Structure 1
Amino acid sequence: MSETAEKNQDSDVGGIAADRLRSIIERIERLEEERKALGDDIKDIYAEAKSAGFDVKVIRQVIRIRKQEPADVEEMETLLDLYRRALGM
């Protein structure tokens, strides 16, 4: 078998480009490792905030609100205020 034929056979198994598949899987694995490391870093920051006396639940809520569009936040706050007044709060 020629060298080119062997390369094609190694990289194409059952109609699947094995080298390409391996590359994709390895990239996903690296990103999964990075995501875990980032998650650990975020947990550490929340622990730091808690030890500094901040309320972590409120910090999480602030982060969630900051991700929203300003108009959506305003609508939510308006409804929340309306519901509180309706309940006498």
Structure 2
Amino acid sequence: MGHNASHERLTAYFERIERLIEERKGINDDIRDVLTEAKSEGFDVPAMRAVLRQRAMAPEKRMEQFALIDLYVTATGMGAPREA
């Protein structure tokens, strides 16, 4: 009986994961639709994705990232640091 219960639990885990993967696919499709809509209105999708990544960061981490980018841009002679 223990083996059968373990089998059922394991199967249930896989089924839950599969449902979540399917839900994630639907959400990803919705996100793609929103980005397509934004692009059709003239917005730059790669820039939007970059901002989304930054918005997901903790404020301290984001400021650290900006500082490093400014440092690298200046160090490589690509131009003056950006305004914060």
Q: Same fold (TM over 0.5)?
A: yes
The one-character-per-residue Cα deviations of 1:10-58 (angstroms, maximum 9, x if unpaired) are: xx5xx24233233222212211111111111111111111111110000
Give the percent of matched residue pairs that are identical in Structure 1 and Structure 2.
Answer: 47
Aligned partner of residue 44 in structure 1, secondary structure = helix
Q: Could you state the TM-score of these two structures normalised by the residue count of structure 2?
A: 0.75
Is 1:29 paired with 2:29? no
Runs of 4+ in 1 over 4 A off after TM superposition: none
Match of residue 70 from structure 1: 59
More strand by share: 1
Q: Could you state the TM-score of these two structures normalised by the residue count of structure 1?
A: 0.71
User: Where does the alignment leave 5 or more consecutive residues of structure 1 unmatched?
Assistant: 1-7
Aligned alpha-carbon RMSD (Å): 1.9
User: Where does the alignment leave 5 or more consecutive residues of structure 2 unmatched?
Assistant: 80-84
Deviation of the 1:88 alpha carbon: 5.1
1:20 and 1:54, CA in 2 relative to 1: closer, same or farther beyond 3 A? same
* One-letter identity of the residue aligned with 1:59: M
Q: Which of 1 and 2 has higher RCO (CA within 8 Å, sep 6+)?
A: 2
Match of residue 4 from structure 1: none
Of the candidates 59, 68, 72, which is equivalent to residue 79 of structure 1?
A: 68
Aligned length: 77
